Amino acid sequence: MNPSLIGLQSVLKTQLELAGGLHAVTFQLHAPQACEVLLIGEMTDWQAHPIPMVRDALGNWATTLNLRAGQWIYKFWVDGQYLHDPNNPLMASDGWGGFHSYLLLGDGDWADHDVPHGELIKLTMQSNVLGQQAEVTLYLPPAYQPSQAYPLLYLMHGHRTRGNQWPSNGLIQHFMDNLLAQQVISPFVIAMPTVDGALPLDTLESFLVDELYERLTRWFAIRPGPSNTAIAGMTPHALGAFNLAWHRPDRFGFVAPVSAFFLDETLAALATHPFTTTFGIKLYCGTEDYVYPLNERFAQILKQNQISFDYMRVAGGHTWRYWNSITRDLLQTISGFYLQSTSPLTDPHA
């Protein structure tokens, strides 16, 4: 066997389905000069429980795990250095200048099924507000028609990543295609802008809520108004999504913070200053996530202010396995908001 193909062949040939929905997966790496190789990823809670790999006489390191269906993100730890699997073509940015590898086991809404496919578009535009070019990844549903008008979802990425994180890690395009084919959601457009967290908040708000919104509604068949516009975000940009909805209820009618990193000072300010909202809210957080206590505090503050909201608490950590697990509910919730707020798709120029 060609050692350069070991990793790829192990990934593709050992995804054997076992009893109970488990899949036997052998991870292999050819590293004859290495003294220690560990498997680190979502299956090990990253650095918490790294798995030592065993070396054979040819310098091939391996370990076999029984894993449940879904996405698993992982890396190798080779003599103190992270390394993505060089033989696995499935890889994405890790947000720190490198890459991680991932597996897709079994079947699910995240899979690329034989259904009508929407279109992913990467927009690069000169922003007058930012004074620089801005990137936005756009999802248009299958059979998108410029003569119709579609609701709009702003979907914000996580820490140190870009707007393409939801397609590359979250596989949001496959979720949308499959749920639309199942007829459990209605079609809508998703805008996934790249946000530079170092920019002033008022500048980002002006770009996202005014400049970008104006261009999207001019360039694409977007139905305007808060009853047709929702925003969701993850980790720090979950807090950002809530802040945008709070500051601009004229723009957003619904917000879904996912695994939100609510700052202590933000929670303290909200707890001591009564407030109301005019938009719908649904919180998502895994019960093993390190930000779960912050989300619990935020939920209590909403209750104290008698603000109606939904909250999905299920097992999971700060991982894409968890975020994949709630994506179906998230998209159905967003679609339900549009359906109860609007009439059927109409001509945007009527």
Q: Domain residues of the chain, as ranges?
A: 3-105, 119-341
On the question of pLDDT at 160 being above 80, the answer is: no
Read off the tokens for 60: 């091939």
CA–chain centroid gap for 194, Å, is 13
What phi, psi does 201 have (nearest 5°)?
-60, -40
Of the segments 90-94, 107-111, 156-160, 296-300, which one has the largest average pLDDT value? 296-300
Domain made up of 119-341: CATH architecture:
3-Layer(aba) Sandwich (3.40)
What is the reported pTM?
0.87
Instruction: Determine if residue 165 is left, alpha or beta; phi over 0 gives left, psi from -120 to 50 gives alpha, anything else beta.
Output: alpha
Count of CB atoms situated within 10 Å of the CB of 334: 24
Confidence of residue 19 (pLDDT cuts 50, 70, 90): low
Q: Which of 349, 286, 281 is nearest to 319 (CA)?
A: 286
Q: Is the CB of residue 194 less than 8 Å from the CB of residue 162?
A: yes
pLDDT score at 14 = 43
- Reported in sequence order, the residue ranges of the chain that DSSP labels E, i.e. its strands, are 16-17, 22-30, 37-41, 51-52, 54-55, 60-68, 70-78, 81-83, 91-93, 99-105, 119-127, 132-140, 152-156, 189-193, 229-234, 254-258, 280-286, 310-314
Cα dist from 22 to 19, 67, 148, whole Å: 6, 5, 44
CA distance 65 to 169: 22
Confidence of residue 161 (pLDDT cuts 50, 70, 90): low
Confidence of residue 274 (pLDDT cuts 50, 70, 90): confident
CATH number belonging to domain 3-105 = 2.60.40.10
On the question of pLDDT at 243 being above 50, the answer is: yes
CA distance 265 to 261: 12
Average of pLDDT values for 232-256? 93
Average of pLDDT values for 133-146? 95
pLDDT score at 157 = 85
Average of pLDDT values for 248-259? 96
On the question of pLDDT at 74 being above 80, the answer is: yes
